[in-house]
Amino acid sequence: MPQTALVVDDSLLIRHAVRRFLEDRGYTVEVACDGLEGLAILNRFTPALIVTDLMMPKLSGADFVREVRRRPAFTNTHILVVAGRRGSTAPATIEGADHVIYKDIDLVEQLTATLDQIAIAGAAL
């Protein structure tokens, strides 16, 4: 059974890059342009992984993550937040997120490392 993911980002470039990365690794991927659209998709789709931007219009990534974590169906869903720059005002952790990566560091390298961590954690269960 293929893994499933939701990518939420207001940047078409980031959405496309992350979607392609995940699809190349066997994920079935849904995408949303902002947090509100992401929440609407979650009414019909329960992904194993959510990748969300931190800074978005309509509903920020932090608010999106809080809302997802309020929903019991997503207790075991891994949430990865894509923040601006490492060392900027973006926090190193976001409440409710399992991982934080940064746009100014090689996304492919960070996504690969994160998926490896998720796989190791899943194997340990």
Residue range 102-106: average pLDDT?
Answer: 78
Strand pairing partners for 52?
8, 81
Give Cβ neighbours of residue 116 (< 8 Å, ≥ 6 apart).
Answer: none
Give per-residue pLDDT as tens, 23-35. Answer: 999 999 999 999 9
Domain that holds residue 56: 4-124
Please state, in angstroms and rounded to a whole number, the distance separating the CA atoms of residues 7 and 38.
8
Please state, in angstroms and rounded to a whole number, the distance separating the CA atoms of residues 10 and 92.
21
- Single pTM value for the model: 0.87
User: What would the two tokens of residue 63 be?
Assistant: 């608010």
- How much of the chain, in percent, has pLDDT values that exceed 90? 51
Please state, in angstroms and rounded to a whole number, the distance separating the CA atoms of residues 11 and 65.
18
pLDDT at residue 74 tops 90: yes
Cβ burial, residue 26 (10 Å; 0-12/13-18/19+): exposed
17 compared with 118, residue with greater pLDDT:
17
Domain count, the chain: 1
Give per-residue pLDDT as tens, 5-51. Answer: 999 999 999 899 999 999 999 999 999 999 999 999 999 999 999 99
DSSP letters for 26-52 = T-EEEEESSHHHHHHHHTT---SEEEE
CATH of the domain at 105: 3.40.50.2300
